[in-house]
Amino acid sequence: TEARAALALDSKSALAHALLAEALSSQNQYPAGLDEANKAVGLNDKLAFAYSARAEVQANIGLENSDAGLLDTAEQDAEKSLSLAADDDPLSKAMAQSAIGFVAYQRYALTGENDALDTAIDTMKKAVELQGQMALFHSNLGYFYDAQGEHDKAQKAFEDALAADDAYGHTHAGLGWNLYYSDDYAGALGEFDKAIAANPN
């Protein structure tokens, strides 16, 4: 990956460790992802992205292990990221908002707290406003809207994600479920096929 290539050039790059943490987490390699995120924070405790990356890995582990305490820790990291990003570029601010939204959504997935889902949607919308060209933010917003039962809003978010990157498998999978909820089974199967083609492993 690009993150591994960057680390090969500079093993002390906090940003590269944070990027690798996110990549590993997206592949469900959570312990390895957390290790990389901890390295990123250790190398540069002023890097907002290091905390947002660690927050998302911790949230994944917290949900997987039904560990509300770890979700609390993830929330603290996400808030720290937002604080550090206050004077940063829009991308850094958007990543911090996204981390807050992601952690809140994982809390909703664990507890069913509607307030957590509302927070997830509100903060992911802020991420979209800051960096509308990022398919990830639109796609996550689509998943969050579907969880809320707002399937029309979810479909629009997934379509916006595909407009930003039509090869993003996460979006095709989300749109597939969205169409399934709307009883469009043929459309859903088509999107699932695209998701598999984008991420065959």
**pLDDT, tens only, 82-125:** 999 999 999 999 999 999 999 999 999 999 999 999 999 999 99
Q: Using CA atoms, how far apart are residues 48 and 130, in angstroms rounded to an integer?
A: 16
The confidence score (pLDDT) of residue 9 equals 56
Helix ranges (DSSP H) in 65-150: 68-84, 90-111, 114-130, 135-148
The per-residue pLDDT for range 137-191, each reduced to its tens digit, is 999 999 999 999 999 999 999 999 999 999 889 999 999 999 999 999 999 999 9
Instruction: Supply 130's token pair.
Output: 């800051």
The pTM (predicted TM-score) of the whole model is: 0.90
The confidence score (pLDDT) of residue 73 equals 98
What are the structural domains, with CATH classification, of the chain? 1-131 (1.25.40.10), 133-201 (1.25.40.10)
Q: Which residues of 164-193 are buried (b: 16+ CB within 10 A; e: fewer)?
A: bbeebbbbbbbbbbbbbeeeeeeebeebbe
Q: Are 176 and 195 in contact (CB under 8 A)?
A: yes
Burial of 8 (0-12, 13-18, 19+ CB in 10 A): exposed
**Which residue has 């609390």 as its token pair?**
72
Q: Using CA atoms, how far apart are residues 182 and 76, in angstroms rounded to an integer?
A: 37
The confidence score (pLDDT) of residue 179 equals 96
Instruction: Supply 54's token pair.
Output: 């660690």
The per-residue pLDDT for range 39-76, each reduced to its tens digit, is 999 999 999 999 999 999 999 999 999 999 999 999 99
The confidence score (pLDDT) of residue 199 equals 80
Residues 6+ apart with CB under 8 A from 137: 94, 98, 124, 127, 128, 131, 161
